[in-house]
Amino acid sequence: MLSSLSGKSVLVTGASSGIGLGIAGVFARQGARVAISARHADKLEAVAAGLRGEGLQVQAYAGDVADTASVRALVAAVAEAQGGIDVLCSNAGIFPSGTLDELTAEDWDQVLGINAKGSFLCVQACLPYLRKAEYGRVILTSSITGPVTGFPGWAHYGASKAAQLGFMRTAAIELARDNITINAVLPGNILTEGLLDMGQAYVDSMAASVPLKRLGSVEDIAYAALFFASQEAGYLTGQSLVIDGGQILPESLAALA
């Protein structure tokens, strides 16, 4: 049994849907005070109200993780309202598709700006508060795509997700001085709104390539993040955990037959 996150102040970015919303719900059900963030305020407030309807402590703060001023304002508002920040789940991300022939420099900058620079900006803005926390925790949402695997159409996305891990390894050393840990979850294919937008054919083909024969749930990722956030994970930093139903394991299609 892990010690409780009761009373801890948690910020989850990209939490108006999908994995971020799953993390927010699981952490709030553990007794944490959870600030959720995303760009579109109306949807964000609606999901926060839904979680509060379950009796959970969840508040919405709109912000864009790719924008320095927006991130600083968001983090300051959360820290002010929740009396600090103990745990940052840097989860906001986008995954538009484009082959090497199609990709523009603007596509590249947008994906790297949100997925990689966004993590850096959020960690940096949270640092003063994480330093004051009893124990500070950062959990990044990376991906198997980039750090472990490749997929046509996601060169820019894969680069952004690998960049998060390169950032994490040096950050882990710098943050260790303040007893702050930083680790990453690497989801496989998880059933979220973003994934469903890619169409049923994509969803079916992905499920068929997973040894456990199903796509992941947002809770599958949230419970891994919860472990990284726990007091008991205090000697674990700069590490990444693949949560993919075994998807990266088969050497060939024959292995799945």
- Mask for 39-78, x = binds ligand NAP (CB under 6 A): xx-----------------------xxx------------
For the CB of residue 151, give the shortest distance to ligand NAP in the complex, in Å.
11
183 binds ligand NAP (CB under 6 A): no
246 binds ligand NAP (CB under 6 A): no
Helix 118-132 to helix 155-176 angle (10° resolution) is: 20
For the CB of residue 189, give the shortest distance to ligand NAP in the complex, in Å.
5
- Give the whole-angstrom CA distance, residue 183 versus residue 193: 25
Q: Is 157 noted as a catalytic residue in this protein?
A: yes
Region from 17-25, 97-105, 172-180, 246-254 binding ligand NAP, contact rule CB under 6 A? 17-25
For the CB of residue 207, give the shortest distance to ligand NAP in the complex, in Å.
11
Beta-carbon contacts of 148 under 8 Å, excluding residues fewer than 6 positions away, are: 186, 242, 248
- Mask for 140-159, x = binds ligand NAP (CB under 6 A): -x-x----------------
Which backbone phi and psi does 90 adopt, to 5 degrees?
-90, 95
18 binds ligand NAP (CB under 6 A): yes
Residue 14 CB burial class (10 angstroms; 0-12, 13-18, ≥19): buried
What is the number of alpha carbons within 13 Å of residue 100 lying toward its C-beta? 6
Region from 1-9, 78-86, 146-154, 187-195 binding ligand NAP, contact rule CB under 6 A? 187-195
Among 73, 94, 236, 248, binds ligand NAP (CB under 6 A): 94
Residue 49 CB burial class (10 angstroms; 0-12, 13-18, ≥19): exposed
**DSSP assignment, residue 217?**
P
